[in-house]
Structure 1
Amino acid sequence: MALARRLSRLGTETAFAVSAAAAAWGAKGNTIYPFHLGDIDLATPAHITEAMNAAIADGRTGYCPGPGIPQLREAMADDINRLRGTAYTADNVAIQPGGKPVITKFLQAVMDEGDEVLYPNPGFPIYESQIEYLGGVARAYRYLPTERGFAIDLEQVRSLITPRTRAIIYNDLQNPISAESTQEEREAIAQLAQEHDLWVLSDEAYFETRYSGQSHSISSIDGMKDRTVILYTFSKKFAMTGWRLGAGIAPVEVAKVFSTMNTNNESCTTHFVQYAGIAALTGDQQPVADMLDVLRGRRDAACAMINQIPGVDVATPESTFYLFPDVTEAVRRVGATDVDDFATQALHATGVSFCTRNHFGRRQPGEDRDYIRFAYSGIDEHRIREGLGKLKDWIESA
């Protein structure tokens, strides 16, 4: 029996393949230092879990409204407005089973087959996967290295826009490269969206995973609220990756479409989990601050160790829990054939497991530097120092 032809266009998160390789190496008795997956090894704050358990005890285990329970939608709108200076209402909020569904539903809502969508590369691989799976044309835009990290190549973005361009996916506070837009860059993207009548998916998964300063949303720029969909997830801020709770905050017409899609796809987001979401947004925020303190310590330890390794260099980001160091010289130093071979050699020589640039979209023409991604959300400071110390010794001895 033949399967659908469109399946050939469906990608995946290849970071999970790195997890499998690390697990296989660990099963042989080797010590693994897991920098590969952006999961969080910190517990969900207790009051959130307690709210879920209370909701189950109260019988909140049946169907609920497709767009989400009203109390959560109202709490979400209030939280978004407080932090972004916007004026959303509950009607703008469509609760989702995680952040990923927002990507798919956004594309289904605004993109027809053959339409072009701009997306960041390196970037979250599901953007590219879903654009192509749904029959769109994926147009990758790149980042350029700077002293403070990475910046969007705005000239390339301008050059990619055609009459068929329908939308741009914009991930400020970016996975995997931890890039954060300046206000000038954010306004430049907003101006292009308005000049060319483009929809914007603003992936704000890491909006509140930051160590200093204040995050800003493109939705708060004049003229952007009615053409922007915000991707919100509880996964990162509240250590709720496995709970599968998120939201699309969108113009009312799009939020209604999302709600219809919810009814078609999932019926509704898990009822009792939504009460946990209310507790997360409205309850004690000290556990969130405590988690950020832990992550800040991990960031500082990792950056200090990485910048001591020969042939490896990274800037210190103010947000996310990822580092994206340039390892071009280190790849050559150990005699690896390419950056993926470097990763395999590193795993077997040191137990340090990480993703490479190649896990985050197809390489673009002209790329001549090699990068890897370290996620420090699932490994404590002691093991960060221990693992990266072994990586340093291995590269130094090459």
Structure 2
Amino acid sequence: MPQLAHRLERLGTETAFSVAQAAAAWKAKGNAVYPFHLGDINIPTAPHIVEAMNQAIADGYTGYCPGPGIPALREALAEDIGSRRGMEFSADNVVVMTGGKPVITKFLQTVMNPGQEVLYPNPGFPIYESQIEYLGGTAVPYAYVPTESGFAIDIEQVRASITENTTAIIYNDLQNPISAESTAEEREAVAQLAIEHNLWVLSDEAYFETRYEGTSSSIAALPGMAERTVILYTFSKKFAMTGSRLGCAVAPLEIASVLSKLNTNDESCTTHYVQYAGIAALRGTQEPVKEMLETLKERRDVTCEIVNSIPGMSVAVPQSTFYLFPDVTEVMDRMGFVNVGDFATAALENTGVSFCTREHFGRRLPGEDRQYIRLAYSGIETEAIREGLGRLRDWIEAS
């Protein structure tokens, strides 16, 4: 029997999908399930976006198209992304891809040699760690510290982790899973470290416009950062297009040309007719986006209110994303749980509430002594939130 490639041993996955499988199996047995596990959106894509895609199919846009994306979409993205960040981009800076995830992989393929180090957030989106290691790099995690308003990057740890072998840092402002948002000072500190040590930066801005208060800012807009930063953009969250698989990288021209070549090697091009849906999303009415944010804000408020009413659980109210990362240390101690995975399984089987844990978002770091779970409220109706978390509260209080 032929052998498989050794690098597969370094390939991780997005383990939230395993939680989804467990929830589906529990539901198949006739049990109620309250899905807080996946960051999918149970709000339909806006009709005008779907109509544009269907019209593109009817018009015959079902074949190959340019690897970096069709010009009209690249121009629309350059204008929209630039204007919202106070920056100027041309279509040549934009490389369209099949969602946001490919941006991570292709960025690393472009800037990282085997053995080089890349800093990444932990807890963080698990594909960062997976792809750094799969491609032969050394994944160096940096941590967050809890604050009254949520979480902050441990800047001193980031500083201490940079070596002569460090080539890049992955930075996820408006963060999944912990919904952390950098202060201006924190963002500037990360930028200063990147400039001082001549690092490339991947700025994952998937949730840049999924916010309920305040205004988002991009690290790429800071002085000296545009020439070293690649912005990850996705239609998935803002436009409820998770299954359409449409996103892009906005990059310095030197990087953009390489990303275009990687597109040609990997998938030839992003689905032609889906790109017309993207144009409609950007150029058309933004009213559905506003309505979705109102719905998500209501869900956030209800989820935070109930979570903070549960003895032994607490969470700050985030201004962005659709995730909560509550501290459940006291609950677990009182109920006799040592492993947060066991707590999650017991919660599913006793209440139907399904969620991910800290362990789904990177290896636990030395010195971590608090326990956390992640609740995604993007795929569950408000009434189901009340019912499910009410059952979770009753179960915890009964213990």
1:318 to 2:319 alignment: yes
Task: State TM-score, norm by structure 1.
Answer: 1.00
Indicate the SS of the match to 2:243.
coil
Aligned equivalents of 1:240, 1:123: Cα separation in 2: 22
- Matched with 1:60 is 61
Aligned equivalents of 1:49, 1:195: Cα separation in 2: 46
Q: Deviations over 1:50-96 (max 9, x none)?
A: 00011111110110000000000000000011100011100000000
| One-letter amino acid of the structure 2 residue matched with residue 41 of structure 1 | N
Aligned equivalents of 1:19, 1:113: Cα separation in 2: 33
Pairwise CA distance, 1:333: 1.6
Q: Contact between 1:311 and 1:329, CA under 8 Å: does it hold in 2?
A: yes
Indicate the SS of the match to 1:390.
helix
- Matched with 1:304 is 305
- Matched with 1:285 is 286
| One-letter amino acid of the structure 2 residue matched with residue 350 of structure 1 | T
Count of matched residue positions in the alignment of Structure 1 and Structure 2: 398
Aligned equivalents of 1:2, 1:318: Cα separation in 2: 49
- Matched with 1:145 is 146
Aligned equivalents of 1:189, 1:98: Cα separation in 2: 26
- Matched with 1:185 is 186
Aligned equivalents of 1:331, 1:350: Cα separation in 2: 15
In the TM superposition, 1:291-370 aligns within 5 A as 291-370=292-371
- Matched with 2:77 is 76
Aligned equivalents of 2:348, 2:387: Cα separation in 1: 14
- Matched with 2:211 is 210
- Matched with 2:33 is 32
Q: Deviations over 1:118-148 (max 9, x none)?
A: 0000000000000000000000000000000
Aligned equivalents of 2:388, 2:295: Cα separation in 1: 18
- Matched with 2:50 is 49
Aligned equivalents of 1:71, 1:119: Cα separation in 2: 33
Aligned equivalents of 1:365, 1:333: Cα separation in 2: 24
Pairwise CA distance, 1:332: 1.3
- Matched with 1:246 is 247
Pairwise CA distance, 1:227: 0.1
1:117 to 2:121 alignment: no
Aligned equivalents of 1:62, 1:264: Cα separation in 2: 17
| One-letter amino acid of the structure 1 residue matched with residue 167 of structure 2 | R
- Matched with 1:227 is 228
Q: Contact between 1:333 and 1:395, CA under 8 Å: does it hold in 2?
A: no
Indicate the SS of the match to 1:140.
strand
Aligned equivalents of 1:171, 1:266: Cα separation in 2: 26
Aligned equivalents of 1:87, 1:243: Cα separation in 2: 27
Aligned equivalents of 2:325, 2:360: Cα separation in 1: 12
Pairwise CA distance, 1:335: 1.5
- Matched with 1:164 is 165
- Matched with 1:99 is 100
| One-letter amino acid of the structure 1 residue matched with residue 173 of structure 2 | D
- Over the aligned positions, Cα root-mean-square deviation in angstroms equals 0.4
Unaligned runs of at least 5 residues, structure 1: none
Q: Deviations over 1:26-65 (max 9, x none)?
A: 1111000000000000000000000001111111011000
| One-letter amino acid of the structure 1 residue matched with residue 180 of structure 2 | A
> Structure 1 stretches (4+) deviating beyond 2 angstroms?
none
- Matched with 1:21 is 22
| One-letter amino acid of the structure 2 residue matched with residue 274 of structure 1 | Q
Indicate the SS of the match to 1:242.
helix
- Matched with 1:259 is 260
Indicate the SS of the match to 1:232.
strand
Aligned equivalents of 2:50, 2:231: Cα separation in 1: 26
Q: Contact between 1:35 and 1:374, CA under 8 Å: does it hold in 2?
A: yes
Aligned equivalents of 1:397, 1:31: Cα separation in 2: 20
Pairwise CA distance, 1:310: 1.0
Q: Contact between 1:173 and 1:207, CA under 8 Å: does it hold in 2?
A: yes
Aligned equivalents of 1:126, 1:388: Cα separation in 2: 29
Unaligned runs of at least 5 residues, structure 2: none
Aligned equivalents of 1:127, 1:245: Cα separation in 2: 19
Pairwise CA distance, 1:337: 2.8
Aligned equivalents of 2:289, 2:335: Cα separation in 1: 40
